[in-house]
Structure 1
Amino acid sequence: MTHLLPHDVRPTEFDALLPAMLADLEELVSVESPSADLAAVAAGAARVAQLGARALGAEPEVLLHEGCTHLRWRLGAGPRRVLLLCHQDTVWPLGTLAELPWSVTDGVVRGPGCFDMKAGIVLAFTVLARLRAAGHDLDGVTVLVTGDEEIGSPTSADLIRAEAAGCAAVLVLEASADGGALKTGRKGASMYDLLVTGRAAHAGLEPEKGVSSTVELAHQVLAIADLADPAQGTTVTPTVLTSGTTTNTVPATGRLSVDVRALTAAEQQRVDAGMRALTPQVPGAVLQLRGGINRPPLEEAASAGLFALARAVSARLGLPAPAGVTVGGASDGNFTAGIGVPTLDGLGAVGGGAHAVGEHVLADQLPGRAALLAGLVRAVLDGGGLGVPDEEAPGE
């Protein structure tokens, strides 16, 4: 049984907006925006800016950080209260659209970046435009659309933290987990490169004069893998490995990349300390460690209040109660949770296949996601959003 409040936007109102949402999504998908191509990211941002200006009645601030384009809308002049966090860069290289073209077949939307996460941008604009048209005061809402999330947000991390600071809530429009579940926890991510310097020598004539970077890396791979703790959910994965130049030379240099994921800041720090304590095992070898902690964990405590609110809003609107899950992948929401701001992730599209050829969005789920987002935005603006009033408790 639903108990709608005067400010609620009913899911049926967004049903009527579905064709417009799909048209906007096609516009965004039609401009390819791979993270590593700054010109393509700028072109994608220009298209996002057009849609956002149309929806919000205002042009964005265009923020260039080390050549990467980010967009920001600050609605109203009051203190910042809720941040809608998005990114428009994708993992797909230029030319993918020709191989995986935009399509909508039997309610399934396909196209590079549609699920991760251009549909989330469309949801944000659609919701704010609808609330604005209905006369709702959006003072205190910020929309931030970044251009480098898929490569670890090297130019936007400080911007994200600055925009989130002082907010009552950050709502992350990343794609949902399986079945539309919200992402109430995310592992923190650390990335390292271990460089080994040895000494070259002829492998046939005088190998004893060499210091093998390959042998040193073999020792280090095993030591690094031992830092994992499956019982704590901590993964430490040696990934890309290179060493040497020719088959008849003792290799003088080598390099190992390492991917670390952890559920808690304590585990992330433990592994970081272990990486920094590595010592050479082959006499004469020298180690150099680069990288470190990229994103802190989004621990479930950071999302608990907003998740309870999301379930209350869903119950009131007659929407299915969303599940909450912890996932291994990190997002920009990790940054905001890491500075203590309540953060709820996975509020974007329902579908699947992120980063894969099967990437897709379920069109009929978009109106319900829009209604949920609208309810959350209004709830946060009306009272902070971290408590669940008695009259909104799930199941009533």
Structure 2
Amino acid sequence: MPVQAAPELAVVLADIERLVACESPSDDRAAVARSADAVAALGERLLGVAPERVVIDGRTHLRWRLGDGPAAVLVLGHHDTVWPIGTLGRLPSGVGDGVLRGPGCFDMKTGVVMALHAVAALPDRAGVTILLTGDEELGSPSSRQLIEDEARGCRAAFVLEAAADGGHLKTARKGVSLYRVHVSGRAAHAGLEPERGVNAAVEAAQLLLAVAALDDPGRGTSVTPTLLTAGTTTNTVPAAAEFAVDVRAWTVAEQQRVDAALHALTPRRDGATVRIEGGPNRPPLEAALSAELFARASAIAASAGLTPFDGVAVGGASDGNFTAGIGVPTLDGLGAVGGGAHADDEHVLVALIPERLLLLERLLQEQLAAATPGEGR
């Protein structure tokens, strides 16, 4: 099968620019709903069927379940972005010198368009579910259960997040855990009788050092205290303090080790109390869950003469962490090749869009052909 011809690429580019023009910051529910309308219209044009709109906590997600039987393959992406309304006035969308630019083009509206075009190109789409969510950039608070439910029973999940630097696929992602450590003490006048107080700021500082010591670079585990707040006025012993903790780990075992240690924290000072909120937010995408799919992708690329790529491990998380977390083989980074995610220089390399479309289409064909009758939900 040849790589798509230029006229078809022109259609794909026009579709990408149409979605980029519909700004969709995750925290603006109305904007995300408008974006869902634009994506739904595009999908209906290409697939001949409207999606189901799944609205959870006011956030709009789109689902196409194609065919009458159970799903064998999940194609996963998101149509929300980090960019506020009005960014297009400062960073207009457009194509020049083989580069597509515009807020959200790389992360990940090009991937959304690619997903729809690749599935539309299949001679038989039965067994494919496409799920495009509207809150990934917030950590998928309303869509996690939906993602896991749609993935459960599938033989593969293909995630259309942007490629890693150099066009490489993402074969492992760190898991993410998020915490808040709350410390309570007792206020007192800092000048007249500080001894009556229980200094929550000092207690939090000591706990923060203990938390940071859970970091294990040798295992690739980062435990990073981030936002820290304490006290009310400059002449009052702080009665309360809190700090946030960001944890990234390659394995579930490391996530569990840090989680247990954080929840075992105890105060050092008489009269102080400690309360821990949070826990694992996304499980890791471990390399074993992507190995077979990556091998198939590499074989397809070699046979079709596509630009070579490697599989890389990245620290950031995606919704592919959720599919891998329930044991579904998952391959990530199948979307746009380019760079500048969340930055003013966000861009997509136009010449590689047809190659990635072909790769996804053939991966889907292979997985659907290998599915046994009744496989899926």
**TM-score, structure 2 normalization:** 0.96
Matching residue within 263, 269, 289 for 1:276: 263
Aligned-partner residue type, residue 41 of structure 1: V
Q: Secondary structure at the match of 1:93?
A: coil
1:60 lines up with 2:51 in the alignment: yes
1:46 lines up with 2:33 in the alignment: no
Residue number in structure 1 paired with 2:21: 30
1:97-112 paired onto structure 2 within 5 Å: 97-112=88-103
Structure-2 change in CA distance of 1:167 and 1:14 (3 Å): farther
1:138 lines up with 2:125 in the alignment: yes
Q: Distance in 2 between matches of 1:230 and 1:38?
A: 39
Residue number in structure 2 paired with 1:217: 204
Q: Distance in 1 between matches of 2:19 and 2:368?
A: 28
Moved over 6 A (4+): none
Q: Which runs of 5+ in 2 are unaligned?
A: 373-377
1:339 lines up with 2:331 in the alignment: no
Aligned-partner residue type, residue 112 of structure 1: P
Write out per-residue CA displacement over residues 65-118 of structure 1, whole angstroms, 9 at most, x where no aligned residue: 111111000010112111000011111122222121112221111111110111
Q: Distance in 2 between matches of 1:213 and 1:328?
A: 33
Aligned-partner residue type, residue 159 of structure 2: V
Q: Give 1:266 shift.
A: 0.4
Residue number in structure 1 paired with 2:363: 376
Q: CA RMSD in A?
A: 1.2
Q: Which moved more, 1:32-41 or 1:186-195?
A: 32-41
Residue number in structure 1 paired with 2:187: 200
Matching residue within 65, 68, 73 for 1:82: 73
Matching residue within 161, 165, 168 for 1:174: 161
Aligned-partner residue type, residue 76 of structure 1: G
CA contact (8 A) 1:14 1:370 kept: no
Residue number in structure 1 paired with 2:214: 227
1:287 lines up with 2:281 in the alignment: no
Aligned length: 372
Q: Give 1:316 shift.
A: 1.6
CA contact (8 A) 1:14 1:368 kept: no
Aligned-partner residue type, residue 327 of structure 2: G
Q: Secondary structure at the match of 1:21?
A: helix
Residue number in structure 1 paired with 2:113: 122
Q: Secondary structure at the match of 1:294?
A: strand
Matching residue within 232, 250, 263 for 1:263: 250
Write out per-residue CA displacement over residues 314-369 of structure 1, whole angstroms, 9 at most, x where no aligned residue: 11211123210000001000011011111000000000111111211111110111
Q: Secondary structure at the match of 1:354?
A: coil
**TM-score, structure 1 normalization:** 0.92
Q: Distance in 1 between matches of 2:267 and 2:120?
A: 59
Q: Give 1:14 shift.
A: 4.8
Residue number in structure 1 paired with 2:375: none
Write out per-residue CA displacement over residues 21-64 of structure 1, whole angstroms, 9 at most, x where no aligned residue: 11111111111111111111111111111111111111100001
CA contact (8 A) 1:237 1:258 kept: yes
Matching residue within 228, 244, 251 for 2:231: 244
Q: Distance in 1 between matches of 2:252 and 2:160?
A: 24
